[in-house]
Amino acid sequence: MARAKKKKRPEGLTGPTKTKRDRTLRKEEVERVMVEGAWTLATVRLLAERHGVSINQIYQDRKKIMRHWQKQVLNVEAGEQKAEWLQKVRNMTRQCMKTGNTMSAAKLVYYEGKAIGVFEPLRIEIHNISQMNPAAMARDIIEALPLIQQIAGQEAGLIIDAEHEEAE
């Protein structure tokens, strides 16, 4: 594929040839391609051609966008990052459902549940048990397990973790 020759600029003219609006639109399109996961050499060539810039310029735009994302991540609290991530997962889940890609949607829903703690074990605390019979307590917990499973789901019955602290 032959490269198109660059037009010579008038003598003494330096700086960018595009307007700020042109650069902003180009960078927005580069970022959209990055977010969609459609970043390929063919896409880079298409972007360069569409915006009348070199392939190198598209890569420079990508590098600036990545640096901007890194700064955003460093300046954001963990809770905000988690909220943004969850929003992205929810958006992707909706897109998957619209296109009929139910397996991907199911995986995304699983990851969302994992992130917000849906799969964390149910914690039940019992206090002041010094006068209780441990065998009777264990029997009561086992009898209550079907009710706990109804409330918390089947996963609640898969893991039972017990801790014991001596009263002082």
Query: What pTM value is reported for the model?
Result: 0.43
Token pair for 96: 């998957």
Q: Residue 46's pLDDT is what?
A: 95
Nearest to 124 by CA among 140, 101, 105, 107: 140
Q: Which has the higher per-residue pLDDT, 162 or 93?
A: 93
pLDDT in tens, 110-150: 777 777 766 666 566 666 666 777 777 777 777 777 776 66
Side-chain-facing half-sphere of 94: CA atoms under 13 Å: 5
- What's the Cα-to-Cα distance from 69 to each of 11, 63, 108, rounded to whole Å? 37, 10, 22
pLDDT of the residue at 40? 92
pLDDT of residue 167: 57
Residue 45 carries which side chain, given as an amino acid letter? R
In whole angstroms, what is the distance from residue 163 CA to residue 168 CA?
Answer: 16
HSE at residue 60, side-chain half, CA atoms within 13 A, is 7
Residues 6+ apart with CB under 8 A from 34: 62, 65
Cβ distance 73 to 81 under 8 Å? yes
Q: Please give the Cα distance from 4 to 105 (Å, whole number).
A: 44
Q: What is the pLDDT of residues 81-90, one digit of tens each?
A: 777 777 888 8
Residue 10 has pLDDT above 70, yes or no: no
